[in-house]
Amino acid sequence: MLASISGLRSDFGAVDSWIVERVQKSVANGLDIGGTNYAVEIIVKDNQSDPNQTAVAARDLVLREKCDLILTDDGDNSSGAAAELADARGVPMISTLSPWEAWVFGRHGAPDKGFPFTFHYCIGAGDVFKLYTDMWNGMQTNKKVGTIYMDSAAARGFADRQHGLPVLLQKNGYTEVNTGFFQLNNDDFTNQIAELIGGDVGILSGSCYPNHFATFWNQAAQNGFQPEAVTVAGPFLFPSALEGLGDLGDGMSTEVLWNPALPYKSSMTGQSARELADEFEQDTGAQWTQPLGISHSLWEVGFAALRGASDPKDNKSIRDSIASLKVDTVVGPLDFAGSPVKNVAIQKLVGGQWRKTKDGKFPFELVIVNAGTSGVTPTAELVPLSKIRS
């Protein structure tokens, strides 16, 4: 497994050790496939949230460890040299936690083309864009959207003027104030904030990591930038990011890849989403995070692929099994076989808003405010930030 245990994406990989420990216990006596018991060895490599280190770690897994299957929950950094190596060497690889468009188009692929041995599942950026505009359409705003983007493959996919957020903004009558891309090590957003204020921005969106947003939002508060809605991809997956903002975190809205309130169960343990979250909180004392469900589902998909292979020690057999896979997981149904995008299963999503709790177990709670593509019933309405501030 390639995991972001350290570096900029370490929040995404923080749950991996907890998940892997339980997976190892579940396969301690091997995995029964087609009447044969196979020993399972799990090797975890830290990619340090870096594309170059991801390539190094992938070479170890492919060339030295000779792994039969590679799993990674760092879809951003695994879509480059690591995926190319897996395809070139014929080693099946399944990745997640990056919109499928970034994974496909970032590799110069096409929805009808596919790749030799690499597969991916996640939400679609197009679904995220529609979710955002649906959420905003229910509010009274000046329809001016300011955007901030880190310089990454996923963020560039979001900002793409032919396929990204700008397309949906224009279709829905919004005006974009695009502040451009900032480097991953940037810690001064003075220019971006001045541009947003000067553009009379009422809604903030874009794509960045939690550390970026924390710096930006604190500087924005100091400079008097107060939009009606903040809906940014990436930083609000984690309650720790909201806690770090204090009162300034109340009301942040986001796409939701996984939530304990969703009506899904694990194909691996039989646990409901709520039961998985409760076990994590009881064991660690920490609040659940969205990557908890995603990381768990990655192993569900991996084991389903091995069980569906005619020969789980043959790479082509595993590849064919993934391509024909359809499995219900703790993050919802994942269908590679019937997907409109080759080598990709498109995950369902909902819209959520973080609200401060008065006497809750944790300082913030993520409530579902939009059904998105899931069909579930929202539990709350999106509240404008002006009402929260008043």
- Does pLDDT of 215 surpass 80? yes
Q: What is the pLDDT of residues 68-107, one digit of tens each?
A: 999 999 877 777 889 999 999 999 999 999 889 889 988 9
Mean pLDDT of 198-207: 98
What pLDDT sits at residue 162? Answer: 86
pTM: 0.91
pLDDT category of residue 383 using cuts at 50, 70 and 90: very high
Structural domains of the chain in order of their starting residue, each with its CATH number: 2-123+261-346 (3.40.50.2300), 126-256+349-389 (3.40.50.2300)
Share of residues in the chain with pLDDT > 90 (%): 84
- Does pLDDT of 332 surpass 90? yes
Q: What is the residue whose two structure tokens read 């497994």? A: 1
What pLDDT sits at residue 77? Answer: 72
Q: What is the pLDDT of residues 97-121, one digit of tens each?
A: 988 988 998 899 999 999 999 999 9
Q: What is the pLDDT of residues 125-170, one digit of tens each?
A: 899 999 999 999 999 999 999 999 999 888 988 898 988 899 999 9
Higher pLDDT, 74 or 3: 3
Q: What is the pLDDT of residues 352-376, one digit of tens each?
A: 999 999 888 999 999 999 999 999 9
- Does pLDDT of 238 surpass 90? no
Type of residue found at 52: N
What pLDDT sits at residue 237? Answer: 86
